[in-house]
Amino acid sequence: MFRATLAICGRTVAKRFISSLSGESALPSNLRLPPNLIGVAPQKRAFPSSSDLPVLRRCEADIPAHLAPAQTWLESLGSRDSEPLGVVDLHPDVFSVPLRLDILHAVEVWQRNFKRISHAKVKSRAEVSGGGRKPWNQKGSGRARHGSIRSPLWRGGGVAHGPRGPSSYYYMLPMKVRVQGLKIALTAKLAQDYLHIVDSLEIPTPDPHYLLDLVKHRQWGDSVLIVDVGDEFPQNILKVTEDMKTVNIIPAIGLNVHSMLKHESLVLTLEAVKFLEKKLLWHDVRYAPLYPFKLPYSDLP
């Protein structure tokens, strides 16, 4: 309890100092945090705001005239202490959309429930064994009138309105709503400083401790989701993430809102950013489908 209060105090102190000392290092030098402090507030590296930094990647798609691209650092996984390589541009219609938490909630709930098939089934009075015969005469016995010993009123009888058989909870949200959910999740990750862009997933050793140490040193959070395009990944990163529960790697087609919310931090490669921008921006300029998009069109993304 004392450690928790110390953590909260440390965090609030750090927050106050972050707000007052903008641009410099977040915590003052004479602040001594105890070594067993849980959850030190992450020291935010100042977001690239100056326009003189060379931009290493520009957006392929056209950006609307009234919007400016979002910018963030390009990092490298090569060594634990490597500095950011530069600044990359991110399309504002994917990474700075208005944060509709209701859409995010709807997409998350849909993702959980549309696959659900509940197998709960109980026997009704017709299915319970026995109960075909009237237990006693209608009149004369002095007992209540009954037609079968398996009616829902009876102990051992069937259930009147119970769950009936495998039932599905399948429904589909409109495609554009699901796409907007992805965009909002990406925007939220960027806004909360949990999005990291990486040039490639090459790491020097297949040692899991290297990656854990890197994540801890850079204060990326407790869990990391790594996203890359294509079916070939470097062997080292695959070996490292194979047995780790908190650091996971997925291809870019597998990106979904639930995974993004489950993992604290999101790491995208430059190719993954290009792929996501292409796929997500197409939905803003497409026709309504003449026939399902599974069939060929001349210019699908």
In the window 74-113, what residues touch other proteins (CB under 8 A)?
98, 100, 102
- Would strands 86-90 and 70-75 be described as parallel, antiparallel, or unpaired? antiparallel
In the window 51-80, what residues touch other proteins (CB under 8 A)?
64-66
Rg of the chain (C-alpha set):
28
74 closest CA partner among 46, 94, 52, 55: 55
* Total chain residues near other proteins (CB under 8 A): 19
* By the rule CB under 8 A, 297 interacts with other proteins: yes
* By the rule CB under 8 A, 286 interacts with other proteins: yes
Q: Which is nearer to other proteins, 8 or 68 (CB)?
A: 68
How far apart CA 176 and CA 299 sit, in angstroms, is 18
Reduced to 3 states, what is the DSSP secondary structure of residue 250?
Answer: strand
* Interface stretch with other proteins, choices 25-33, 83-91, 241-249, 293-301 (CB under 8 A): 293-301
Q: Which is nearer to other proteins, 80 or 274 (CB)?
A: 274
Q: Which is nearer to other proteins, 117 or 285 (CB)?
A: 285
Check if the beta carbon of residue 99 is closer than 8 Å to that of residue 184: yes
Residue 143 exposure: Cα atoms within 13 Å on the Cβ side: 8
Please report which helix (H) or strand (E) contains residue 189, including its range: helix 175-191
* By the rule CB under 8 A, 299 interacts with other proteins: yes
Amino acid at 27: L
The nearest distance, CB 96 to other proteins, in angstroms, is 11
Residues that bind other proteins (CB under 8 A): 64-66, 98, 100, 102, 282, 284-287, 289-290, 293, 296-300
